[in-house]
Chains A and B, each alone.
Chain A
Amino acid sequence: MATPDTDVRGHVTVTDVDLYTRMLLIRRAEERLIVACADGSLPGGVHLYIGEEAVAVGACAVMTDRDYVTSTHRGHGHFLAKGGDIDAMFAEIWGKATGICKGMGGSMHVADVSKGILGANGIVGAGFAIATGAAWGAKLAGEGRVATCFFGDGAANQGSFSESMNVSAAWELPTIFVCENNGVSEFTVTSTVTGGTLVDRARAFMPATVVDGNDVHAVRDAVGAAVERARAGGGPSYVEATTFRIRGHLEAEQHMLGGGTYRSEDDVTAWQADDKDPLPRLAARLLADGTCERAALDRIDAEVRARVEAAVAYAEASPPADPDLAPQIMFGPTA
């Protein structure tokens, strides 16, 4: 995987090929998780990000390891986009001692504090306040860091959404609210439970914009402008990325649905078309502008697939989680 270079402003410069490779890594990793979930390899469920890769990758392309992100229950994409290690993530999802959280958190809780990844979170909307607190810390430290909160349209109906936007605006904190609007709140179409529009809620507090969330450049540029403003002391921003969740709320959800449906299969198919899916869209651009030839894209795909299989092998070969660890790390040392 390419390592992003940092320019003089502290921003990450990432080439289009890097963006494509990162998005593809998330896609292939999660396609492999579909298989692992179905064959019973995993101790728990997984919530997949397939179809939304351009949001995490575009947003994280303008951040460094020193910036903070909070993630969602659908957090594999944010973890990998922010530079988390796929071996450690897969080992975590497989419940192994070598997992990034030693097998104590699992798929919904991948975190790497050393890279500013304050964790995927099983509580919908929990990231708003955590990101706001981290942004306050970033402002107090005065080192130009930002805190980005990834969240979905479902989370935006939690009260802490407006509470955290209020604090961030009132205290001019470097908080970036990135809404992944995929139209569904778990198993409920969001429009059936939502008054007004989300961007209008945000506009009451801060600069707010809506972008095509399946266009990685559009996301990168909008979040980049927000990050630049935040680093310069200009306070928080809201970026809403319109996207689509190709998979269900979680894998194996058909067992929970009892034959029922909550959205149209035609919509799912439509969003998988080459002109909607963020990966073919970027691939077409790379081919059209001469950045890559088809053979180069195929080679990237082969490398990414090999990397994912290596991570599976690492996870499978790793020792199981330590069953005695939980009582040892529940509490920190006292003074």
Chain B
Amino acid sequence: MARTRLITAVNEALVAEMERDPTLIVFGEDVELAIMGDTRGLVERFGRDRIRNSPICEQTLTGMAVGLASAGFRVVLHLMFNNFIYTGMDAIGNQMAKLRLMTGGQMELPITVIAGYGGGNGNAAQHSDTAYPALMNLGGIQVAVPTSSADAKGLFTTAVRGRTPTFFLEPAGRGGDMGEVPDGEHLVPFGKANVLRTGTDVTLVAIGTMVRPTLTAATALAGEGVSAEVIDPRTLVPFDEDTVLASVARTGRLVVVDEARDRCSAASQIAAVVADRGFATLRAPVRRVTVPDVALPYARNAEAVLIPGPERIAAAVRSVMERQLA
């Protein structure tokens, strides 16, 4: 057990997997200097045949990942910020997400794309999106959203060893929280949510960067006599519907916290699943706590009011505690 930042846990997992599998290749913009931290030290250790700075040309980088994987390699493509998926979208939406199906299963594409997401860093709207809702709707793309250092190591290892294109989304800018990381091999299965706090009155599903403010809100609510269960889904595709539905069956209430914009957010999908499969267990309307349907502005104060924090989350919970379905 060592205590590290999330980004360092990814770095350690990447080193271990590159040691384990000589066909694992890492490329992307500025990966040699490791601007995001997760590829630090790799070029010195593995050389430029294994990790390589690319030109700035996302539509070609994403397509190259498909070609390199087709040629028998495991691929880690670093896209830096998840806003850059928009420039690389053809090979994401039309190739990575589709070719396994379109070739009748012939084409295995073991590709892991790393990208930072989310606001709160004064990066303005072109570097602050939470873009996983777009990825969730493409087809054959898995989406992992680690929140702890241990899960980052475990989910990353699972992503790299898999045979399906996977987006591994890191909280941008801050390097993630500090946390304990298991030594040695550590895999976290996809589609298995983590119940971070048990409770009886309300289920809070918190995605990625929203886990910390949600736990803060849950602690505050406990002081008011509200017992909140907090669930971290860890992966959005596949998504652990059963754990969420079982929790809502006990609590009767659901609040989903998501840094994506409200419209077609991951929270919207989760709310729809519970409305569909868990309607009879609900005792109050489902609430989504999300970013309003605007782009995140640059100024700190203007940005901060839009990103869900403990106060907004707690207020949403209080509103569902007051409301009771007949």
Contact = CB atoms under 8 A, between A and B. Distances in A.
Given A140-B73, A335-B187, A134 B68 contact: yes
Interface stretch (B103-111, B202-210, B276-284): B103-111
Interface stretch (B30-38, B56-64, B176-184, B300-308): B56-64
Contacts of B140: 330-331
Contacts of B63: 126, 128-130, 132-133, 160, 164
B158 A68 contact: no
A123 interface: yes
Interface bracket on A: 35 or more
B60 A164 contact: yes
Given A119-B107, A126-B94, A137-B73, A132 B64 contact: yes
B157 to A, nearest CB: 7
B102 A105 contact: yes
Contacts of A103: 104
Contacts of A101: 102-104, 106
Given A167-B57, A329-B100, A68 B71 contact: yes
Nearest to B67: A133
A126 B54 CA distance: 18
Contacts of A163: 55, 57, 59-60
B130 interface: no
Interface stretch (B4-12, B161-169, B221-229, B309-317): B161-169
Contacts of B158: 334-335
A209 to B, nearest CB: 23
Nearest to B25: A140
Contact of A138 (B71, B90, B106, B109): B71
A73 interface: no
Interface residues of B, number: 51
Contacts of A211: none
Contacts of A326: 101
A335 B157 contact: yes
B244 interface: no
Contacts of B91: 126, 129-130
A130 B66 contact: yes
Interface in A119-161: 119, 121-123, 126, 128-138, 140-141, 147, 159-160
Contacts of B103: 101, 104-105, 109, 111, 113, 119
Contacts of B163: 332-334
A334 B189 contact: yes
A178 interface: no
Interface in A54-101: 68, 70, 99-101
Contacts of B25: 140
Nearest to A335: B161
A28 interface: no
Contact of A332 (B55, B94, B164): B164
B293 interface: no
Given A137-B67, A329-B104, A166 B55 contact: yes
B268 interface: no
Nearest to B57: A163
A102 B106 CA distance: 10
A137 B102 contact: no
A134 B68 CA distance: 5
Nearest to B58: A163
B90 A137 contact: no
A102 B60 CA distance: 29
24 contacts: A101-B104, A102-B104, A104-B104, A109-B102, A112-B106, A118-B107, A126-B94, A130-B63, A130-B66, A130-B70, A132-B63, A137-B70, A140-B25, A140-B73, A147-B67, A159-B59, A163-B55, A164-B60, A167-B57, A331-B100, A331-B238, A333-B164, A335-B158, A335-B162
Interface of B: 25, 49, 54-55, 57, 59-73, 90-91, 94-95, 99-110, 139-140, 142, 157-164, 187, 189-190, 238
* 4 residue pairs, one from A and one from B, having the closest CB atoms: A129-B63, A133-B67, A137-B71, A335-B161
